[in-house]
Amino acid sequence: MELTKYEIFADAAKTGNFTKTADRMGYTQPAVSRTLRLLEQELGFPLFVRQKNGVELTSSGRTILPHVLALLAQQRQLEQQVSEIQGLHVGHLTIACFASVSRVLLPHFLAGFQKRFPGIQVELMEGGTDDIVRWVSGSVADFGILSHRQIGNLAWLSLWRDPLVAVVPREEPFLSMKTFPVEKMTAQPFILSADGTDYDIHHMLSTTKIRPTIRFTSKDDHAIVSMVANHLGMSILPRLVVLDLAHLVHMLPLAPEFHRTLGIAYKEKSALTPAARKFIDQIVKTDVSKIQELDGLEETSDMDMAMKE
């Protein structure tokens, strides 16, 4: 079945721009426009409306998009199943994850995976919890790496425990403290991760019933750390988020201890492509305790159960 026109449609829906889709897929912009115009004629209704800065799906386009994505996911699974029989020489893998995961964790997994399967193209999509759940549920991504909170009906494989830490300026009295008592959060302005990005901080605040004075909220981890570094307040963040920014701020373990559980969310095991299963296997076989900069990230007992039939 010729699915190129649907691939172009799905990519244009993602980018909202015919020129970007043309660049990403190796076509000219007129060729993309022509293909989508012919598809609209074939279907009998418009798929996009032009906006000032690109295009937007019509209501009809939004209606058929989930079905197109499911069709393309089935195509990828078929192609990779054939490729697996032949040695998994070609394929495409889309992973949705937190930005901190793509910065700190994924490079270690990707290095080993690319040595074993150099023909597999890997695409990363970074976002918050709500974004990742939507991408995985809609078959835009093969699986997601995120916290287990608010993942809806997705299947779950628990992998690591990542401690939450107090993020404070690099100055006294914080430099002399060994832990940060959570009740002290009320003593200064607080910078909070935006709701929908990472639910673990909100869960911690709800559990402790502590109500800090929230002055700023942000979806951007770097922005939060930068605000703390510029003495605009303190924050609570997962340790993994702060690892590559630790030179800007000071991290302290919380008292009492809190952590988030990171793992893999996917629609169902039977829907995972061979490339997705191989990558998950690569993750499970990587001993993160031997990666120096990941000190503090603890594996969970579910690791041994990963992808076993």
pLDDT (tens digit per residue) in 56-96 = 999 999 999 999 998 888 887 777 676 665 556 677 899 99
Judge contact between 58 and 46, C-beta under 8 A.
yes
- Among the four given CATH numbers 3.40.50.720, 1.10.10.10, 1.10.260.40, 3.40.50.11540, the one describing domain 1-75: 1.10.10.10
β-pairing verdict for 298-299 and 155-168 = antiparallel
SS3 of residue 157 by DSSP = strand
Task: State residue 308's pLDDT score.
Answer: 45
Cα pseudo-dihedral 15, 18, 24, 25, rounded to 10 = 120
Measured CA to CA, the distance from residue 59 to residue 44 in angstroms comes to 14
Task: State residue 1's pLDDT score.
Answer: 46
Task: State residue 56's pLDDT score.
Answer: 92
Q: Over range 160-167, report the average pLDDT.
A: 94
- Structure tokens belonging to residue 201: 């901080």
Higher pLDDT pick, 286 / 237: 237
pLDDT tops 80 at residue 2: no
Judge contact between 95 and 123, C-beta under 8 A.
yes
Task: Please write the tens of the pLDDT for every residue from 208-254.
Answer: 998 999 999 998 989 999 999 999 999 999 999 998 888 899 999 99
- Summary mean pLDDT of the chain: 88
Phi, then psi, of 235 in degrees rounded to 5: -150, 170
Contacts of 71 (CB under 8 A, 6+ apart): 3, 6
- Band the pLDDT of 295: cuts 50, 70, 90: low
DSSP 126: E
Measured CA to CA, the distance from residue 159 to residue 264 in angstroms comes to 7
Task: State residue 53's pLDDT score.
Answer: 85
Range(s) for CATH 3.40.190.10 in the chain?
163-259
Range(s) for CATH 1.10.10.10 in the chain?
1-75
CATH of domain 163-259: 3.40.190.10
- Structure tokens belonging to residue 291: 């990666």
